Structure 1
Amino acid sequence: MALIYEKRNHIAYITLNRPQSHNAIDPETVVELVDAWQDFSQDRELRCAILTGAGEQSFCAGADLGKLIPLWTGARQAITDADQKVQANPLLAQQALLRDFPLTKPVIAAINGNAIAGGFEILYNTDIRIAAENARFGLQEVKWSIVPAGGSTVHLARQMPYARAMEMLLTGELIDARQAMEYGFINQVVPRDQVMAAAERYAAIIAKNGPLAVAAVKQAVLENSGKDVPAALAREMELSIPVFLSQDAQEGPRAFKERREPVYKGK
């Protein structure tokens, strides 16, 4: 399997599982990622996801230059079912990287190693990012006369200072985990063997919170980015009112008053 998809304690674990290829994204990975994201978004029991890579060297090296790119350019014929699906729908890969996949549930990135090209671009669509000390990040596309069109020219300068973003985009040089944290792109840098534990701590906290409130918060932030303040405030209220009227909103204050853990049902 190119992907390992597991569910535990309201948390989805999504693991890129091609360590021998630096977890590069091939057609099978594309199809399995899209299926996983769809299931995660629809399963009401799942409240948070952790995305990581197998092995100790790479989180994700981006698109598989031997299997995925040649399929798009016509240099390779479709052989597998996954090949045929990707060839029939080139936008499937963008959905796999969450570029064109609306998702209001939180995603935590447990970055166990290098995140390059598409492996870096998928991080734009995660909400909390934990990186191993050895991880490196970058967009090397311009070195090969390619545009990093997985959302980089849109998202990167919004998620770190403009000059730092342009430095990465125009030079194609890599940065290390400490630099990424200094630029505000990463939440934490930890030893490699502590990456998953740190991600799980965040996920456990989020999974205990009201799922309707969490989803509304994320949706409001995503939708209101770039809007003028009055319009953004109006949309925030539109998203907030249904949550205020929910059963969960009654359960939260009741549990606080009764000094117990709330039991949220997403209703």
Structure 2
Amino acid sequence: MSTAIDTTKLVLAEPHDGVLTITINRPEQKNAINHAVAVGVAAALDQLDADPELSVGVLTGAGGTFSAGMDLKGFAQGQIPTLPGRGFGGITRAEVRKPLIAAVEGWALGGGFEMALACDLIVAAESAKFGFPEVKWGLVPGEGGLFRLPERIPYHVALRVMFTGEPLAATDAEHYGLVSELCAPGAALRTAQEMAGKISLNGPLALAAAKRILRITQGLDDRAAFERQQEIYSTLATSEDAHEGARAFAEKRAPVWHGR
């Protein structure tokens, strides 16, 4: 049976029906990211990938804010909010095998926005806002924002967000395709969990394979993409789960996945 990870209280990880909800729990600090939060998020992501009972993760923030980005007070005291090989918040450079959904209420700013972009899907409340204010302080987003945002929305829209430092409303983000599903204020987590529940019904190996293939074939031509895909697909096609899926279809029943 899955158990919750809650070592610091700054990051809560709650498993339920195949979905791990990971909550940044610093509402009084607008869920600003310090070193302890990064460690907690990384531990939760490890749990997500390691636990065969978990298929999907949902990342959110407590108290109506996703994350205001770096904890500047902590940084001034020498706390580094990045981890080797994991990046900012323990996620921006991490290789998470299973699908991950960001559930965004309020602000996702700077590194907080980059954490959302590190997820596979974004669900947002209509009142949510995304932004990279770094240029206002002589900096740029350094944890994936500069190249991930133009992959998700039109290039010149991304440039406007980067160059002005002004926020992008969730309604506009949904229009441009950054937000997968828009919902009423206060409903982002529930909506993301419902989406995660639908995803978790599918084959866990297939979900991981789809995510991996999508990531490694970006920017390749068809020939190169097929070559990169082949080994992953061949392994999946001969798996026990693939045979179970075929049997379940023929027998008109729900498949029972084993992750092998």
Partner residue in 1 for 2:4: none
Contact 1:30–1:92 (8 Å) recurs in 2: no
Q: Return the match for 2:61 from 44, 53, 58.
A: 53
Distance 1:143 1:95, change over 3 A: closer
CA distance in 1, matches of 2:248, 2:150: 41
Q: How does 1:122-133 map to 2 (within 5 A)?
A: 122-133=115-126
Structure 1 stretches lacking a partner, 5+ long: 71-75, 78-82
Matched, 1:62 2:92: no
Structure 2 stretches lacking a partner, 5+ long: 1-8
CA distance in 1, matches of 2:170, 2:73: 28
Give TM-score, length-normalised by structure 2: 0.92
CA distance in 2, matches of 1:98, 1:111: 16
CA distance in 1, matches of 2:109, 2:186: 21
Q: Return the match for 2:232 from 219, 239, 259.
A: 239
Identity of aligned residues (%): 36
Cα deviation 1:48-96 (Å, max 9, x = unaligned): 001111112x1110011111x22xxxxx25xxxxx5xx49x75376153
Matched, 1:146 2:139: yes
CA distance in 2, matches of 1:117, 1:193: 22
Measured on the aligned residues, the alpha-carbon RMSD in Å equals 1.6
TM-superposed CA distance for 1:112, in Å, is 1.8
CA distance in 1, matches of 2:140, 2:60: 25
CA distance in 2, matches of 1:206, 1:103: 16
**How many residues are treated as equivalent by the alignment?**
252
Partner residue in 2 for 1:259: 252
TM-superposed CA distance for 1:197, in Å, is 2.2
TM-superposed CA distance for 1:193, in Å, is 2.9
Q: Return the match for 1:106 from 94, 99, 105.
A: 99
Contact 1:98–1:125 (8 Å) recurs in 2: yes
CA distance in 1, matches of 2:173, 2:186: 19
TM-superposed CA distance for 1:224, in Å, is 0.6
CA distance in 2, matches of 1:163, 1:21: 33
Contact 1:251–1:262 (8 Å) recurs in 2: yes
CA distance in 2, matches of 1:135, 1:194: 11
TM-superposed CA distance for 1:123, in Å, is 1.5
TM-superposed CA distance for 1:127, in Å, is 1.4
Contact 1:17–1:54 (8 Å) recurs in 2: yes
